[in-house]
Chains A and B, each alone.
Chain A
Amino acid sequence: MKQLRLIPAALLLVAPLLQAAPLDTGKSQINFTMKQLNVPVTGSFKKFSGTVVLDLKKPETGKADISIDTASISLPTAEAVGEAKKADWFNVAKFPSARFVSSSIKNLGGGKLQVAGKLTIKGNTRDVTAPFTARQEGALTVVEGVLPVSRLAYKIGEGDWADTGTVADEVQIKFKVAIPAGK
Chain B
Amino acid sequence: MKSSERYSSPAIALHWLIAGLIIATFIWGLVVSDMPLSPAKFKYIAWHKWAGITVLALVAVRLLVRLLKRPPALPAHMNGIERVLAHGGHLALYLLMFAVPLTGWLMSSAYGFPVVLFKVVQLPDLVAQNEQLAATLKTVHETLNWIMAACVAGHVLAAIKHHVIDKDGMLYRMSLRGPRQ
- Which of A's residues lie within 8 Å of B, judged by CB? 36-42, 76-80, 83, 160-161, 163, 165-167
B70-92 contact mask (Cβ, 8 Å, vs A): 1 or 0? 00000000000000000000000
CB distance from B94 to the nearest CB of A (A): 29
B164 within 8 A of A: no
In the assembled complex, which residues on chain B have CB atoms less than 8 Å from the CB atom of A77?
111, 131, 134
A167 vs B45: C-alpha distance when bound (angstroms): 13
In the assembled complex, which residues on chain A have CB atoms less than 8 Å from the CB atom of B40?
160, 166
Choice from B37, B114, B131 contacting A40 with Cβ under 8 Å: B114
In the assembled complex, which residues on chain B have CB atoms less than 8 Å from the CB atom of A40?
114, 116, 122
CB-CB under 8 A for A76 and B113, given A37-B42, A38-B119 = yes
In the assembled complex, which residues on chain A have CB atoms less than 8 Å from the CB atom of B175?
none
Choice from B113, B115, B119 contacting A41 with Cβ under 8 Å: B113
Choice from B116, B120, B129 contacting A76 with Cβ under 8 Å: B129
Q: Can you give 6 contacting A-B residue pairs, CB < 8 Å? A: A36-B42, A36-B46, A38-B122, A39-B115, A39-B116, A166-B40
Contact, CB under 8 Å: B39 / A39: no
CB distance from A81 to the nearest CB of B (A): 11
In the assembled complex, which residues on chain A have CB atoms less than 8 Å from the CB atom of B42?
36-37, 166-167
3 pairs of A and B residues whose beta carbons are closest in the complex: A76-B112, A166-B39, A38-B119
Contact, CB under 8 Å: A76 / B111: yes
* Docked complex: B114-160 residues within 8 A CB-CB of A: 114-116, 119-120, 122, 129, 131, 134
Contact, CB under 8 Å: B111 / A39: no
